[in-house]
Amino acid sequence: MTIENKKGWISWFNPFKYGTDRWMYALHRLTGIALGLYLIAHVWETSNILNGPVTWNKIMVDLDYPFGAHYGPYILSLILLVAVYHAMNGIRLTIVENGLMLPKPYRPEFPYKAKSLRGLNNLLKIVLGIFMIVISIVGVYYIFTGAVL
């Protein structure tokens, strides 16, 4: 009897050996899930304003000092990184998934490196990667000092 051999959702997070695009795919999924969870928590947190200023202020302090230390800015920075990655990769996907910045059909040549995963697609990754770094630096600087770079 034939048996099932589905790789299942766990293989979304197995980018090893499948190249850069697969890594970015796995990260995109991870950051997407993280952002979804963050959004729920965020709505819960801001809805506490309904309970009056005292509760609100207490929660703001609690969130800034989780686990008894001033970890708030670090957590915020992490959320920022996650969001910036998801946004930048989303821009890249919107472009390439519409067939833009991809090569025309070509003649494959040994060793058959796929051109759709390289070339202009790679250029996009680099340019958006630089954007991501710049935005993150400005954002993290703002989170920690309150000043715009």
Task: State both tokens at 139.
Answer: 């954002």
Quick one: which segment of 40-48, 64-72, 113-121, 135-143 binds other proteins (CB under 8 A)? Answer: 113-121
68: left (phi over 0), alpha (psi -120 to 50) or beta: left
Q: Is 94 in the site for other proteins (CB under 8 A)?
A: no
Quick one: which segment of 23-31, 33-41, 125-133, 136-144 binds other proteins (CB under 8 A)? Answer: 23-31
Angle at 143 (CA atoms; ends 139, 147), nearest 5 degrees: 85
Q: Which of 87, 117, 135, 143 binds other proteins (CB under 8 A)?
A: 117
Q: Is 8 in the site for other proteins (CB under 8 A)?
A: yes
Task: State both tokens at 27.
Answer: 């990260």
User: Which residue, 79 or 96, is less far from other proteins as judged by CB?
Assistant: 96
User: Which residue, 35 or 101, is less far from other proteins as judged by CB?
Assistant: 101
How many residues make contact with other proteins (CB under 8 A)?
45
Per DSSP, the residues of 17-58 read TS-HHHHHHHHHHHHHHHHHHHHHHHHHHHHGGGG-HHHHHH
Q: How far is residue 44's CA from residue 59's CA, in Å, rounded to a whole number?
A: 11
Footprint of other proteins (CB under 8 A) = 1-9, 11-12, 15-22, 25-26, 28, 93, 96-110, 112-117, 120
